[in-house]
Amino acid sequence: MSTRGSDYENMRLMARVLTLHYQEGHLQSQIAAQLGLSTAKVNRLIKQGRESGMLEITVNSPFQREFELESKLSRKWDLKYCLVVSSVSGNAESTLNQVGKGAGELLVGTIRDGDTIAISGGKALSAVIDNLNVSRSYDVNVVPMTGGVQGQHYTDVNHIATQLAEKLGGRATLLHAPLHADSKQERDLLMSVRATRDVMDMARNAAVALVGVGSVIGEKSTY
């Protein structure tokens, strides 16, 4: 080491502070008291240690691959926040529940009292509701953003909206219209009904939209 005098002492002090903070887990205030320094001085030494290359931090985590995928997706699609969850090999149902739980946690962390939540249908949305845990009631209104398809609980959007509202302690506004129309004229007729237009306007102006992005082809597709 070629540094001498004050430079040498400053580097040695920096190394001591980094060791106490990162290896021994002491708080900056504790380090300051132990070494007779101000907390501001300790903070500066830690910052200098990072900038000088004296400090390397390695995080050994089983979630590292998910974090890397989140970063890549966020950069590619300009996302403010992205959550990637692990799949469960050979168990599609467990994987779906993992997705539902993650999306549910994100939803609860996003909504505020007074919000309108627009929701579509599908198995993924049903999994979100099944795995949703809330610690309090939310004053929210849940509205369908599409019509429904009778036959399965997860394609009946009114049922999905009602379930979510019950889980959150809010209320649901229902849409009495099918998902598909046989012609443009039939679609226009449905949209001319004031009750339908009112619900669709609520959905367009919702604070939060909860939608699935699954495939529309394949034997396990919802629709």
Place of tokens 């049922």: 159
pLDDT of residue 198: 95
- For residue 214, give both structure tokens: 């699954």
Query: What CATH architecture does domain 100-210 belong to?
Result: 3-Layer(aba) Sandwich (3.40)
Place of tokens 């129309």: 181
Instruction: Please state the φ and ψ torsions of residue 171, each to the nearest 5 degrees.
Output: -135, 160
Domain boundaries, the chain: 5-52, 100-210
- For residue 191, give both structure tokens: 């949209």
Convert the pLDDT of each residue in 42-75 to its tens digit: 999 999 988 888 888 877 778 888 989 999 999 9
Write down the pTM of the prediction: 0.71
Least confident segment among 95-104, 146-155, 187-196? 146-155
Tell me the C-alpha distance between 165 and 65, whole Å: 34
CB 154 within 8 A of CB 123: yes
- How many residues are recorded in the chain? 223
- Rg (the chain; Cα; Å): 27
- Within this chain, domains 5-52 and 100-210 share the same CATH topology: no
Query: What CATH architecture does domain 5-52 belong to?
Result: Orthogonal Bundle (1.10)
* C-alpha distances out from residue 57 to 22, 26, 49, 54, 99, Å: 9, 16, 12, 10, 30
Closest Cα partner for 125 from 54, 223, 195? 223
Convert the pLDDT of each residue in 105-137 to its tens digit: 999 999 999 999 999 988 899 999 999 999 999
